[in-house]
Structure 1
Amino acid sequence: MTIFISLLKMIIVRDKLLIEFENYSQYHSNRKVLLHMTILFVAGTIAAYSLVMKHVLNNVAKPHTR
């Protein structure tokens, strides 16, 4: 009977460790997605700002004729 109880305790501990590892993996995956989305947002913002500034500076440099 004690062997059976010991085996059950080992199984329960193993399952708890697997659940904790799964939660950590999910947390790590979510952090990775957040990092990638932040990088894409910053890169997109810089690209949009560059295009707008290029357009504005090109129009300012041209003489305005009627």
Structure 2
Amino acid sequence: EQVNLALEARELIKISILQNCEENRYELADALTQATKAELVRVLGKTLVLYRKSINKSQIVFPKSK
């Protein structure tokens, strides 16, 4: 629930995985994206970057593709 609240407030979040976590970081990322309906932007070491457009107030604007 905390991840959902953070995504709604900020749209783009970083999640740090603890060093002692034994789960595969890609499996963890997959589980989080499915549970939150977010997109995985990137896995950098033990950090996951997730994005989900806010329902109430979209802050991030992507450039239109040509």
Short-chain TM bin: under 0.3
Question: RCO (CA 8 Å, sep 6+): is it higher in 1 or 2?
Answer: 2
Task: Identify the structure with the greater helix proportion.
Answer: 1
Could you tell me the TM-score, scaled by structure 2's length? 0.22
Could you tell me the TM-score, scaled by structure 1's length? 0.22
Larger Cα-atom Rg: 1
